[in-house]
Amino acid sequence: MLTTTRRLFIGLLVLAACGTTESNHKKPAPAAAPTPTASGATELGYFAGGCFWGVEHFLEQMPGVIDVESGYMGGPVDAPTYEQVSSGVTGHAETVRVTFDPQQIGYEAVAKRFFEIHDPTEVDRQGPDIGPQYRTAVFVTGPEQRAIVDSLIARLKANGYAVATTVEDAGKFWPAEEYHQNYYVRTRKTPYCHMPVPRFDQRASS
């Protein structure tokens, strides 16, 4: 039998799960394209590292990043809803699509920041969020991005981190429901399972 304290703890974990309290919203139409840069050239990066709220929040603060959109990638189901993805059976991961200006910031800088704001050693979870939809993954658009990510992972492993991040070819990106977009900006809340850690400058604690 669960004690009152145990019930309260479980309840808090459920409420903390990404999107749990607002899952009754409908899925919107795909978002409009980001505003073009002066040069007209932009690049894309796709990153999954737990609840997309926190990943989006930290990556969109980077100079040169034009837009960060929360969504789903990595599974075979077309147009998945949050409820389907959160069941853990669709194969999708909560993923952000980062649009950036390569004249202002490089892909390596964005990817490096991704590894600093989430724990790449956790398997099928991030903090209190548990399940394959919260796995750590980078979906690359070509061999150049793959080489950069592989190099960053090698640096982390050299620092003693048991990196669990998978490097996969990018597939179809499905935008998440509107209430997931810019969540922390709109609600003025703070990330509960993401925080910057200078992993490339320090060794993993034993």
Give me the domains of the chain, ranges plus CATH numbers: 39-187 (3.30.1060.10)
Non-local (6+) Cβ contacts of 15 within 8 A are 21
What one-character DSSP code corresponds to residue 37? -
- State residue 17's pLDDT score: 62
Amino acid identity of residue 103, one-letter, is: Q
- Residue 182, sorted as left (phi over 0), alpha (psi -120 to 50) or beta, turns out to be left
Would you call 51 a catalytic residue per the annotation?
yes
Among candidate residues 51, 55, 137, 170, the one labeled active-site is: 51
Beta bridge partners, 31, equal none
The 10s digit of each residue's pLDDT in 123-171 is: 999 999 999 999 999 999 999 999 999 999 999 999 999 999 999 999 9
Rounded CA gap, 60 and 105, in Å?
12
Cα 153 to chain center, whole Å?
A: 16
Contacts of 174 (CB under 8 A, 6+ apart): 71, 72, 73, 78, 79, 80, 92
Spatial distance between the Cα atoms of 46 and 73, rounded to a whole number of angstroms: 9
| pLDDT of 174 strictly over 60 | yes
44-90 pLDDT per residue, tens:
999 999 999 899 999 999 999 999 999 999 999 999 999 999 999 99
The rounded radius of gyration (Å) of the Cα atoms in the chain is 17
Write the CA distances from 132 to 27, 52, 135, 173, 188, integer angstroms: 21, 13, 5, 17, 28
Rounded to two decimals, what is the model's pTM?
A: 0.83
